[in-house]
Structure 1
Amino acid sequence: MTQTVESNNPEAPTTPRDTAPNREALASASRVPAALKRRIPKYSDLAPLMQFKKPEFSRAARLQRASTIWDLRDMAKRRTPQAPFDYTDGAAEAEITLRRAREAFLDIEFRPGILRNVSSIDLGTDILGRPSRLPVGIAPTGFTRMMQSEGEYAGSQAAEAAGIPYTLSTMGTASIEDVAEAAPNGRNWFQLYLWTDRDRSLELIERAAKAGNDTLMVTVDTAVAGARLRDVRNGMTIPPALTLKTVLDASYRPAWWFNFLTHEPLTFASLSRYTGTVADLINSMFDPTLTFEDLDWLRETWKGKLVVKGVQTVDDARKVVDHGADGVVLSNHGGRQLDRAPIPFHLLPDVKEAFTKDNSDAAIILDTGIMSGADIIAALALGADFTLIGRAYLYGLMAGGRAGVDRAIQILEKDMTRTMALLGVSKLSELTPDHVRILGK
């Protein structure tokens, strides 16, 4: 039997076994699919791809292009003078608390379930005895018409349209009565700062009740003003002063100044006229002697739901409930008071555990740091009954007035719906702590 001997000589003749792979490669090359063969494109092939749209520069088009709250923030910064933008965007001292609050929502891991029917997502919930179409409401914000001239009117009407609560601040720039008239079918809450002058506080409480507000939210974390250094550096006053710096700043944002100067002058609608810095106002008006006994007075005075905002420890959460509160808002004032304060999102599981042990049905509401619908869903999974947004809605307001607030709510709703579906839950009651893990714990 003759054997074929392979040679190391490159000039040696090849055997049939050497040429077989080459023949297979050539045959494979000759079988290139028609779709992959090069050709000159035809116009009929290109026409469906050439869908050039006419550029749209309207406010509605700009807002529709915003996909996140951060996009709205970018728009707000371009359209708003530095002083009012920084008043919204900034926090106290080195702004460590605000940064940590936002990082807290980033430092989580969702735990999704699979093979669940999520064809229909229900974001509805009950809060303080009444329904809300979404598990988020609008937090109280002061001087809101300074950010954009539609101010509290835009916020309350957007909340009414979305079927969620709106909270008017004591330091708002629209009156209790005007907000009630602007959003007559909305669920309006009133936020109260207790003053040293109890008669003035009582007057506001009576006005809120008469205007149909069903919930009173008393803020307790402002014994003195926080050191909001951006405001100090900007020379921030209420109303904004027309300094050389602000005039130059206005030249880049004429629409803001046109609206500001041609609408009703900016005042504290629930207070007497005041001119000065925010810190001076807080330090001269609000009562640093408040104690838990003052909650007893409020509980006796106010017949609706009573919520305490600014709770930052488990013990204090329990105490305010013991003194008659129907709910607590875990909040560090958006990082605007004490820097390095506790982060509400981190505090949430401990408060939930304490309330469960106490068999308390008091509502747990959370704010500070929320910038997406996923943040809201994470908070609900860890025990919150409801959430509030402040900056997130103000960015929308500054970006486009009422339409901007509507867009902010739409973005959050879409985020929440998507997050719920991807977690494998179709209604809020199905969320549990098992759906979220705080990284590093």
Structure 2
Amino acid sequence: MSNLVSIRDFEEHAYKTLPRNALDYYRSGAGQQTTLKHNRQAFSKYRLRPRCLRNVENRDLSTTILGERITMPIGISPTAMQKMAHPEGECANARAAQAMGTIFTLSTLSTSSIEEVAQAAPRAVKWFQLYIYKDRELTRQLVERAERAGFKALVLTVDAPLFGLRLADIKNRFILPPHLCLANFEGTKSKGMSKKTDSSGLNVYVNSLFDSTVEWKDIAWLKSITSLPIVLKGILTAEDAVLGVQNGASAILVSNHGARQVDGTPASIEALPEIARAVGDRAEVYLDGGITDGTEVLKALAMGAKMVFMGRPALWGLVQGGEDGVKKVLTIIRTEFETALGICGCCRLSDIEPTMVVHESFYAKL
């Protein structure tokens, strides 16, 4: 692992290591994957404006998110079926987050159960990502299990009334490997995917079981069955961010689902500023999508995010070395961010100023 010094090194290693079906599932985006590329490329359109001679000897990356103190504003996004990347899957990922003092988000569609993850990483700040199923009692049970297991927030994914068309999964007729199942549904008909399909087994699963009738009013139903704060994941417009806060969300996670839902949306970083301006004084705002370097964390925070989350980079760490691989990925991006923070004249997150980042067009006008 010593020769892997950037997140992209880990990604290249995973591309050479993972079975094709699993690799295509993890790395693919929707449609022609234009937004998938753009999620990364859009960061290069923004320029850092470092400030000098500010005494940055003592730096502190810690912050408070939904009342929980964490060591850095970099957490782990929910990604499904992590045991395809490593036998310990979500449990190893959660332990890495615990060791690094940051937030781990468990997917509904995980291959380790809520209870297994809670036992594996009892001191981690854990959030549970939720889809609302047609079977509301099943949904209620998931929420209650997460609360009992000590999870600190619910991350409601709001951008998946249908699952996106991921062409690689359709071509591969993707299903979970036979030795794995959706662990949160062990003992129910929802634990697996049909093999009798000419499409992606995951798409068939989602479109048959997820509730596509969900509306804003259903957030009130969710709030009625839980005392946990609700984070809305998948918001890309100021209008929806405002509606989310009005309906009781504690935070907005700006995200295009890793570019996996519909091609042609803005990159997450492009959507961030309008959402931060619209609701940043009333709710916490986070960003997910395209982060591969610590300088991008700094850009996101200067543009209005309180924290960023990464999904695929943690998977690439899992592939390379389980818990240790994820810790290495988090250490790399933490170091890159701390270095950029200091060079730009900041000792703490509160020192970051919006004027430290501008769009490239700023310089074209000079």
Corresponding position: 1:301 with 2:301: no
1:58-137 superposed matches below 5 A: 63-137=1-75
What secondary structure does 2:211 align onto? coil
Q: What residue number does 1:278 align with?
A: 202
Q: Distance in 1 between matches of 2:14 and 2:88?
A: 14
Q: Distance in 1 between matches of 2:346 and 2:172?
A: 46
Q: What residue number does 1:31 align with?
A: none
* Alpha-carbon shift at residue 300 of structure 1 (Å): 1.8
Match 1:267 to one of 150, 172, 181:
181
Q: Distance in 1 between matches of 2:63 and 2:2?
A: 27
What secondary structure does 2:309 align onto? strand
Q: Distance in 1 between matches of 2:253 and 2:88?
A: 27
Identity of matched residues, %: 37
What secondary structure does 2:35 align onto? helix
1:45-56 superposed matches below 5 A: none
Match 1:225 to one of 158, 163, 174:
163
CA contact (8 A) 1:220 1:310 kept: yes
Q: Alpha-carbon deviations, 1:233-273, whole Å to 9, x = none?
A: 22321226xxxxxxxxxxxxxxxxxxxxxxxx311011233
Q: What residue number does 1:339 align with?
A: 263
Q: Distance in 2 between matches of 1:295 and 1:120?
A: 43
Q: Distance in 2 between matches of 1:194 and 1:394?
A: 25
Match 1:367 to one of 283, 288, 296:
288
Q: Alpha-carbon deviations, 1:141-186, whole Å to 9, x = none?
A: 1111112212101110000000001111110011111100000111
Write the letter of the residue equivalent to 1:428.
L
CA contact (8 A) 1:152 1:174 kept: yes
CA contact (8 A) 2:245 2:279 kept: no
Q: Alpha-carbon deviations, 1:351-386, whole Å to 9, x = none?
A: 121125xx41x1101101111111111100111011
Write the letter of the residue equivalent to 1:338.
V
Q: Distance in 2 between matches of 1:238 and 1:143?
A: 8
Q: Distance in 2 between matches of 1:355 and 1:201?
A: 28
Q: What residue number does 1:314 align with?
A: 238
Q: What residue number does 2:275 align with?
A: 351
Match 1:406 to one of 314, 327, 345:
327
Write the letter of the residue equivalent to 2:161.
A
Q: What residue number does 2:345 align with?
A: 424
| Structure 2 residues without counterparts, runs of 5 or longer | 195-200
CA contact (8 A) 2:237 2:274 kept: no
Q: Distance in 2 between matches of 1:392 and 1:305?
A: 26
Q: What residue number does 1:168 align with?
A: 106
Q: Alpha-carbon deviations, 1:186-239, whole Å to 9, x = none?
A: 111111100111000000010000001110111011111111111122232122
CA contact (8 A) 2:287 2:300 kept: yes
Q: Distance in 1 between matches of 2:338 and 2:14?
A: 25
CA contact (8 A) 1:239 1:275 kept: no
* Alpha-carbon shift at residue 437 of structure 1 (Å): 0.8
Q: Report the aligned-residue RMSD.
A: 1.1
Q: Distance in 2 between matches of 1:107 and 1:72?
A: 24
1:8-27 superposed matches below 5 A: none
Please report the TM-score for the alignment, with normalisation by the length of structure 2: 0.94
Q: Distance in 2 between matches of 1:208 and 1:162?
A: 22
What secondary structure does 2:184 align onto? coil
1:117-266 superposed matches below 5 A: 117-239=55-177, 265-266=179-180
Please report the TM-score for the alignment, with normalisation by the length of structure 1: 0.78
CA contact (8 A) 1:73 1:399 kept: no
Q: Distance in 2 between matches of 1:106 and 1:398?
A: 27
State which structure, 1 or 2, has the greater radius of gyration over its C-alpha atoms.
1
Q: Distance in 2 between matches of 1:223 and 1:202?
A: 18
Q: Distance in 2 between matches of 1:439 and 1:318?
A: 28
- Runs of 4 or more, structure 1, over 3 Å off, are none
CA contact (8 A) 1:64 1:407 kept: no
What secondary structure does 1:270 align onto? helix
Q: Distance in 1 between matches of 2:319 and 2:168?
A: 18
